C-alpha cells in the first residue's frame, strides 16, 4: 500500500466522522457570534439558536435591568423547550409543558400547583446559564462555563479602531442572501484566508487579474480567535472598460464605488476610521476581510460611498 505523500494536504479532516466528533470540542470551547445587540435592545426581547452539529439549543434575552443573559433552551424540570420562536419578546419565560415560569434573569418564579412538590426550594432552581460577552455591538457566547480566554483576549489582533466603528448604534442591519451548504464548515472558512483564488473563481465578474500587492494576507498567529486579515485593492486596469460586460459588472460600474472601471478614491476611509481599516491608506482600497475562528467572516468595505460591512455566521 502506498504511503500518503507528506507534502500533500490530507482530506481526512473534511470527511472523517471521527475527526468531526473531535471537532465538536472546538464548538463547545470557542466564542461564537450569535447576533447584534440591537437585535434585542429592549427588555424581554430574545433570539434563539439551534447548533445542530453539537445538539445544542440556546437563547439570549435582555432582562429588565438591561443585562444580556444566555441560557440553554431547556426547562430544568422535564427538559421542555422554552423558546420555540427564532426571535420575539417575552414578559417572562414560561415552559409550555408544565407552565413553570422563570424571570428574564433565569430565576424560577412560579410553579403551578406547587403543593405537588413538597419541600421544593425555588431559589435553588434556575435556567442553566451560558458565558456571554459583546464586542463591536456583536453578541458572543461560549458554552464553556469557564472560558480559557476572555472575549477581548480571544479577538487579539483585530484593529483597535474597528470596534467602536462597528458598534455605532446608527447603523441599520439587514439580512441579505442566505444559503445552506452541504459541506464541512472548514471548507467555507478556509477560502476566506486568501485572495489567490479571486482571479480564477471570479474571473467573469471581476474581469481582471490581481497581483500579490492588490490582495494581501496577514495572519494572527498569537491570537486564539482572530485568524487572518485579507485586504483587497482594486486592480489597476489599463485601457478602457470592456465593451461586453456581465450584468453584475454593469451594475457595479453604474452604482458602485469599487468597480474595476470606476476610479474612486477610497483613502478617506483610513482617516474616517482611524486605526480601523485600510491601513495603507490606499486610494484603491476595496475591503478588509477578517476571519474569526470558528464561525464568523467579517467584511468591512467601501460601497455606495459609505463604509459598511457584511458578516456570515456558519454552523
pLDDT one-digit tens code per residue, 163-215:
988 888 777 777 777 777 788 888 888 887 888 888 788 776 666 778 888 88
30-44, 103-117, 208-222: which has the minimum mean pLDDT?
208-222
Give the pLDDT of residue 258: 54
Nearest to 289 by CA among 218, 221, 237, 240: 218
pLDDT per position as a tens digit, 272-301: 888 888 888 888 888 899 999 988 888 887
User: Does domain 21-154 sit in CATH 2.102.10.10?
Assistant: yes
Taking the alpha carbons at both ends of the chain, their separation in whole angstroms is 37
pLDDT at 1 > cutoff 50: no
Domain range list for the chain: 21-154, 185-313
Distance CA 267, CA 160 (A): 18
pLDDT at 8 > cutoff 50: yes
Residue 97 near residue 104, CB atoms below 8 Å: no
Give the pLDDT of residue 66: 95
pTM: predicted TM-score of the whole model, two decimal places: 0.86
pLDDT per position as a tens digit, 219-232: 999 999 999 999 98
Q: What are phi and psi of 111, to 5 degrees?
A: -130, 120
Amino acid at each position: 500500500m502506498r504511503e500518503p505523500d507528506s507534502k500533500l494536504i490530507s482530506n481526512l479532516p473534511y470527511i472523517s466522522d471521527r475527526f468531526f466528533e473531535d471537532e465538536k470540542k472546538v464548538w463547545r470551547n470557542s466564542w461564537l457570534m450569535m447576533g447584534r445587540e440591537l437585535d434585542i435592545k429592549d427588555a424581554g426581547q430574545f433570539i434563539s439558536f439551534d447548533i445542530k452539529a453539537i445538539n445544542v439549543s440556546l437563547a439570549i434575552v435582555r432582562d429588565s435591568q438591561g443585562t444580556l443573559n444566555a441560557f440553554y433552551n431547556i426547562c430544568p424540570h422535564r427538559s421542555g423547550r422554552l423558546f420555540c420562536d427564532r426571535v420575539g419578546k417575552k414578559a417572562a419565560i414560561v415552559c409550555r409543558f408544565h407552565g413553570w415560569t422563570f424571570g428574564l434573569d433565569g430565576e424560577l418564579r412560579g410553579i403551578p400547583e406547587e403543593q405537588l412538590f413538597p419541600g421544593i426550594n425555588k431559589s435553588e432552581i434556575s435556567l442553566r446559564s451560558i458565558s456571554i460577552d459583546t464586542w463591536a455591538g456583536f453578541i458572543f457566547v461560549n458554552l464553556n462555563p469557564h472560558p480559557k480566554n476572555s472575549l477581548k483576549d480571544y479577538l487579539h489582533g483585530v484593529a483597535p479602531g474597528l470596534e467602536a466603528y462597528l458598534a455605532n448604534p446608527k447603523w441599520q442591519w439587514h439580512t441579505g442572501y442566505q444559503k445552506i451548504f452541504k459541506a464541512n464548515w472548514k471548507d467555507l472558512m478556509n477560502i476566506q484566508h486568501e485572495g489567490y483564488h479571486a482571479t480564477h473563481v471570479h474571473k467573469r465578474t471581476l474581469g481582471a487579474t490581481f497581483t500579490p500587492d492588490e490582495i494581501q494576507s496577514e495572519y494572527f498567529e498569537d491570537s486564539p480567535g482572530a485568524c487572518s486579515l485579507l485586504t483587497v485593492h482594486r486592480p489597476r486596469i489599463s485601457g478602457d472598460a470592456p465593451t461586453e460586460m456581465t450584468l453584475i459588472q454593469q451594475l457595479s460600474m453604474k452604482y458602485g464605488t469599487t468597480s474595476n472601471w470606476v476610479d474612486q478614491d477610497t483613502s478617506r476611509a483610513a482617516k474616517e476610521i482611524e486605526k480601523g481599516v485600510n491601513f495603507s491608506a490606499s486610494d484603491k482600497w476595496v475591503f478588509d476581510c477578517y476571519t474569526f475562528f470558528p464561525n464568523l467572516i467579517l467584511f468591512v468595505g467601501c460601497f455606495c460611498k459609505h463604509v459598511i460591512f457584511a458578516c456570515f455566521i456558519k454552523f
